[in-house]
A and B are shown apart, each in its own frame.
Chain A
Amino acid sequence: MSNIATDNPTNFLTEQEIAEIESEISHLPNRPSAAIDALKIVQSYRGWISDGSLNAIAELIDMSAGELDGVATFYNLIYRQPVGEKVILYCDSVSCWLMDGDVVCEKIKQKLNIDYGETTADNKYTLLPVTCLGDCDHAPAMMVGDELHHDLTIDNIEEHLS
């Protein structure tokens, strides 16, 4: 993995990314407090957090790369590996389970030919389990990218993934 930017974040991060991170820092009492915001900002442009991104962000917010990695790996919506164009966050919590969400998920896995944690061969989708999406009255539910999809059945799942 590249380590090119360890001593100069501006070589690695774009001006836009740095401006957005600085804007978060401006209302915080110290720079490391922006760790999660910074990871999210960079991930929003690049899809995931590479070692290069991690080192550059750590430098920019005055944190050690190791500590920042500890933060990054704690949170399930920060991706330390490349993901597909869209991440499917599939709710595997209890209300969805009671509405056969696990059965529908098997169908998705078959259709996309991937298991949880994997990306399709065409790089279109990565499938991950997620905790209750707060849409239990329309269970089963999932996010595809930023969009909520619900009332899923084995019969309508094709429409939701086309």
Chain B
Amino acid sequence: MSDKPLTKNIIGFDGHTDLARYESLGGYAAVRKTIGRTDPDAVLELLKDANLRGRGGAGFPTGMKWSFVPKKEGNGHRYLVANADEMEPGTFKDRLLMEKDPHQLIEGMILSAYTISADVGYIFIRGEYHVAIARLQEAINAASASGLLGEHILDSEFSFRLHVHVSAGRYICGEETALLNSLEGKRAIPRAKPPFPQVSGLWGRPTIVNNVETLCNVTHIVANGADWFKSLGLGVDGGTKLFGASGRVARPGCWELPMGTPIREILEEHAGGMAEGYQLKGFLPGGASTDFLTPDHLDVPMEYDTVMQAGSRMGTGTMIILDDHSCAVGMIANLEKFFARESCGFCTPCREGLPWVQEVLDRIEAGNGELDDIKVLERQSQFIGAIGNTHCAHAPGAMEPLASGLKYFRDEFITHIEGKACPYQREV
């Protein structure tokens, strides 16, 4: 049993794992021992016991989420969707899993579908991931030809058809109810909840949406048990996590490490510290929509609750590093431009508020800001950032780096305004 279950087939292997290699390394053993042999409710209990938490950013317990799916009645479809949209800036983990080991996701989806009695699955993947799309399709074809997907899997009563849906863009598609609208061929506007997708999701039928990394974990929990999974984590949460670092570190990259690995260890040992000539100023721990942390937080363990206590969120676990040669105001302006552009436009605080924020930030960055602009940004971050003032979590997410940036890098805002210029001059 590997202590790096998610990447054991990836590390030290140049190609991508096809069906033969996957099976030779123990792949589909979990499916073979489970489908038609283990009661789906027992698998659900196992997942709950393992306390797997969703890797899409929010950390919601997967077993609990699945338990809200009503008992199967009649013959209507029930759906399982893999969220492979991965458009959160600074996030580069699901692509690795899908390109290098596509069967791992497929096996996780077969087991998950079996548990919730889903008969149809979709992998909702962003259109730019051409390599991953081709490998997933190839893997689905191979698995289907071997009786692992389709009608009567391994001659059991269980059938599961899996399709790849290639998205046509837009970050908001990653929000799970917007994703469902997009799968239905509509504009990707988030839906009101309740009803929750578990009860009324895709085409009004019970639906579970999980992140790619979450679903990949299911295979290993079923194969090796809940106690093994829990033992992998260093703190409260079990399992491993794909952590990453990008920006001016010596070796940017993505590594599978125990849940609860201290931030310092990730940055210093795995990312090799800062690149030569650069100092750490701050970082976003898990993608664009998480609050800044600072060098004071390096000893925080990377798991959901501890990062929350430090004032941020672990999010996707891929860190974005702000160095001392880069402008905090410029970085936040870049983030808010992204959030403003990607607003779906449905609700006013987000549609109108985010461009306003972007405009103010651009003005300050260009040296035309006034001290009162900081107040405007603070007021907006409180108003737009309050959960419940907007229709979905996009706008509150957008305010996390702004509110925390105003707190930690306030002096930089003031320097821009008083000096009437950005102090960081870059060579163009």
Query: Which of A132, A138, A148 meets B252, CB within 8 Å?
Result: A138
**Quick one: closest A residue to B323, CB to CB?**
A98
Q: Given A33-B184, A74-B170, A94-B331, A136 and B90 touching (CB < 8 A)?
A: yes
A89: chain B residues at CB < 8 Å are: 128
CB of A137 within 8 A of CB of B338, answer no
CB of A94 within 8 A of CB of B187, answer no
Q: Given A76-B169, A77-B168, A97-B331, A133 and B128 touching (CB < 8 A)?
A: yes
CB of A134 within 8 A of CB of B86, answer yes
Give Cα distance in the complex from A131 to B340, angstroms.
12
B318: chain A residues at CB < 8 Å are: 136
Does any Cβ of B come within 8 Å of A103's Cβ? yes
Q: Given A130-B128, A132-B90, A95 and B248 touching (CB < 8 A)?
A: no
Does any Cβ of A come within 8 Å of B320's Cβ? yes
**Quick one: closest A residue to B326, CB to CB?**
A98
- For residues 163 through 184 of chain B, which have their beta carbon under 8 Å from a beta carbon of chain A? 163, 165-171, 182-184
**Quick one: closest B residue to A68, CB to CB?**
B185
Does any Cβ of B come within 8 Å of A106's Cβ? yes
Does any Cβ of A come within 8 Å of B94's Cβ? yes
A132: chain B residues at CB < 8 Å are: 87-92, 288
From A34, A95, A131, name the one whose CB has the most chain B CB atoms within 10 angstroms: A95
CB of B171 within 8 A of CB of A94, answer no
Give Cα distance in the complex from A48 to B326, angstroms.
38
Give Cα distance in the complex from A30 to B184, angstroms.
9
Would you give the shortest CB distance from B72 to chain A, in whole angstroms?
A: 18
CB of B129 within 8 A of CB of A134, answer yes
CB of A100 within 8 A of CB of B331, answer no
From A40, A74, A133, A134, name the one whose CB has the most chain B CB atoms within 10 angstroms: A134
CB of B169 within 8 A of CB of A77, answer yes
How extensive is the interface on chain B, given as a class? Answer: 35 or more
Could you give, for residues 122-142 of chain B, a 1 whenever the CB lies within 8 Å of some chain A CB and a 0 otherwise? 000011111100000000000
A28: chain B residues at CB < 8 Å are: 185
Does any Cβ of A come within 8 Å of B210's Cβ? no
Q: Given A131-B171, A134-B86, A93 and B185 touching (CB < 8 A)?
A: no
- For residues 78 through 136 of chain A, which have their beta carbon under 8 Å from a beta carbon of chain B? 78, 89, 92-95, 97-100, 103, 106, 130-136
Would you give the shortest CB distance from B340 to chain A, in whole angstroms?
A: 12
A42: chain B residues at CB < 8 Å are: none
- For residues 331 through 368 of chain B, which have their beta carbon under 8 Å from a beta carbon of chain A? 331, 334-335, 337-338, 342, 344
Does any Cβ of B come within 8 Å of A155's Cβ? no
B323: chain A residues at CB < 8 Å are: 98
CB of A75 within 8 A of CB of B168, answer yes
CB of B170 within 8 A of CB of A136, answer no
Give Cα distance in the complex from A28 to B184, angstroms.
9
Does any Cβ of B come within 8 Å of A152's Cβ? no
A36: chain B residues at CB < 8 Å are: 167-168, 182, 185
Give Cα distance in the complex from A70 to B344, angstroms.
12
Give Cα distance in the complex from A152 to B131, angstroms.
20
CB of A93 within 8 A of CB of B338, answer yes
State the 9 A-B residue pairs at the shortest beta-carbon distance, nearest first. Answer: A35-B185, A75-B168, A136-B246, A93-B89, A137-B252, A77-B169, A76-B169, A95-B246, A132-B89
Name 14 extra pairs, CB < 8 A, besides A95-B246, A134-B92, A147-B130: A29-B77, A78-B168, A89-B128, A92-B338, A93-B334, A93-B338, A94-B89, A94-B288, A97-B331, A100-B426, A134-B86, A136-B90, A136-B246, A136-B320
21 pairs, CB–CB < 8 Å, chain A vs chain B:
A27-B120, A32-B185, A36-B182, A75-B167, A75-B168, A75-B188, A76-B168, A77-B128, A94-B284, A95-B247, A95-B320, A97-B334, A103-B427, A106-B428, A131-B171, A132-B89, A135-B92, A136-B90, A137-B92, A147-B130, A148-B128
Binding site for B on A (CB under 8 A): 27-30, 32-37, 39-40, 61, 70-71, 74-78, 89, 92-95, 97-100, 103, 106, 130-139, 143, 146-148
Binding site for A on B (CB under 8 A): 77, 86-92, 94-95, 120, 126-131, 161, 163, 165-171, 182-188, 203, 244-248, 252-254, 284, 288, 318, 320-323, 326, 330-331, 334-335, 337-338, 342, 344, 426-428
